[in-house]
Amino acid sequence: MRRTVILGLLGAALAAAAGAASAAPPPNIIFIMSDDHRWDGLGAAGNPRVMTPNLDRLAREGVHFFQATMHVPQCSPGRAQLLTGLPPHRTGWYSNQHRRPDVDRLDGFARFPLLPALLKKAGYHTVFTGKWHLTPEPWDSGFADVRAWLPGGGGAYRDLPLAHGRSRALKPGEGYTQERFADEAIGFLKSDEAVRQPFFLWVALTAPHAPFGPNPPHIEKLYAGKSREDLLPPGFRGEPISTTWNRYYESISFMDEQVGRVLRALKERRLDRNTIVVFIGDNGFMMGDRGWNGKVLPYEGSVRVPLIVRAPGLARRSGRTDAAVSSLDLPPTFLRWAGVTPPAEWPGRDLTPALQRRRHGLDFAISEFADNQSAQFGEYAYRLIRTPTHKLILWERSDKKDELYDLRGDPHETRNLAGDAALARSERELRTRLGAWMKQTGDVFRDKPTLR
């Protein structure tokens, strides 16, 4: 009897060990972020005038979220949102220009569960290189391995002084900035650390943010001699601005080249089959649309961004999807991939069903600009809800009218249909959904009966 029990326990232990050995290891995650990158600054988005062969290939091999938006279309609060998993009205990191004093400190994120820290706790080696643009330090935010990085928001495209490791001290350096950040990512992928445990590698490039150049001669030649009319994205309606499309596209193409280098290193190291690659723009750039040479605004050129996910072994679809998603959905999705339950207070959704041809319910996304104080942008505070077909914008200032756009019939948002009887039902549904989301997240932006 005793011998039978012992053999039974041994058999169960061996079966458990075999099951553990055969279980797939957690996936590596590479998160690449571009800077001021319009949604249509991408060949895969239907713009044949910009040359992005590596991102186009990534889109073919993965899933291109064609309707993706940034939850907050500005550099610094967008990064805070990705780290904390929370919208700006919850964290107090409202904009580049305005933050609550308690969060704009070295320990300002200490009370928040942070994405890299949660991944680190789950056994991931967390690595950062590139643009930071936040006050709390990257190593205090969960990054175990901080490579060459830029503490501020932007800088020269060549020979830019960068910080290294656990210090903000800038040291002189030579070479093109995007190439140097890619070199750091490639250096990690070629290291022993890349195979010792699952990794989360965040690569924050600074292109195509101004000053747009200089770029290498072979990149400059791609657009040399082409006029503005030769380069405008299909359907673009903006006015001429000082920034030339030649330079903007140059910076995108050079950034694309660096993404290709990272992907090649991943494949050469034979890590590509268990590595999920996510590419997103941190916000768009209006490029003169509505006379605006920047971002922040709630219109497509500002809030809509490229988002591509290549997830080998996880995704059962490829190509384009119209799922309405935002950057707020990425932190909980990353944790789900790592086998970690996201914090209950994170309002983002798991994108995995949209990668697997399953019913996903990702039919709306919220964006916000919560800075109602700064002299530069305080008058533009808003909330918006966007579906693949419609967008409703609510401004905080009472003298600014609500805006409703039919994105299919009017993709360039030229006709405000708020109050139009023909869209009354759609407008009412959008208001109800936005109001419910604001209540769920504790947003007191605008307490109107129409949002209750």
Q: pLDDT tens, 429-438?
A: 999 999 999 9
Before 211, cis peptide (omega within 30)?
yes
Whole-angstrom distance, CA of residue 369 vs CA of residue 253: 29
Q: pLDDT tens, 44-79?
A: 999 999 999 999 999 999 999 999 999 999 999 999
The stretch 86-101 carries a mean pLDDT of 97
The better pLDDT of the pair 304, 244 is held by: 304
- CA 158 and chain centroid, separation: 24
Contact 142, 170 (CB under 8 A): no
Query: What are the residues whose beta carbons fall under 8 Å from the beta carbon of 301, sequence distance 6 or more?
Result: 38, 39, 238, 284, 285, 286, 287, 289, 290, 292
Please say if the pLDDT value at position 3 is more than 60: no
Residue 216 lies in a domain: yes
**DSSP strand pairing (307-310 vs 199-204):** unpaired
Please say if the pLDDT value at position 236 is more than 70: yes
Residue 65 lies in a domain: yes
pTM of the model: 0.93
Q: What is the pLDDT of residue 140?
A: 98
Mean pLDDT over all residues of the chain?
Answer: 93
3 state DSSP class of 382? strand
Whole-angstrom distance, CA of residue 446 vs CA of residue 451: 8
Residue 234 lies in a domain: yes
Q: What is the pLDDT of residue 445?
A: 83
The stretch 112-138 carries a mean pLDDT of 98
Extract the tokens encoding 261.
């280098």
Q: What is the pLDDT of residue 10?
A: 39
Domain boundaries, position 306 = 26-361
Residue 414 lies in a domain: no
Handedness of CA 379, 383, 387, 392 (dihedral sign): negative
| Residue 242: Cβ-neighbour burial (10 angstroms; 0-12, 13-18, 19+) | exposed
Q: pLDDT tens, 363-403?
A: 999 999 999 999 999 999 999 999 999 999 999 998 999 99
Domain containing residue 122: CATH number: 3.40.720.10
Nearest CA among 219, 241, 240, 295 for reference residue 38: 295
Q: pLDDT tens, 307-366?
A: 999 999 898 888 999 999 999 999 999 999 999 999 999 999 999 999 998 889 999 999
Query: What are the residues whose beta carbons fall under 8 Å from the beta carbon of 252, sequence distance 6 or more?
Result: 34, 37, 41, 42, 50, 52, 207, 208
Residue 439 lies in a domain: no
Report helix, strand and coil shares of the chain as percent, to nearest 5.
35, 15, 50
Please say if the pLDDT value at position 2 is more than 90: no
pLDDT band at 241 (very low <50, low <70, confident <90, very high): low
How many other C-beta atoms can be found within 10 angstroms of the C-beta atom of residue 161?
12
Residue 78 lies in a domain: yes
Residue percentage of the chain with pLDDT more than 70: 92
Is residue 319 left, alpha or beta, with left meaning phi > 0 and alpha meaning psi from -120 to 50? left
The stretch 421-445 carries a mean pLDDT of 95
Q: What is the CA radius of gyration of the chain?
A: 23
Q: What is the pLDDT of residue 325?
A: 98
Whole-angstrom distance, CA of residue 235 vs CA of residue 254: 24
Please say if the pLDDT value at position 152 is more than 50: yes
Residue 192 lies in a domain: yes
Residue 438 lies in a domain: no
**How many distinct structural domains can be found in the chain?**
1
Please say if the pLDDT value at position 17 is more than 50: no
Contact 352, 76 (CB under 8 A): no
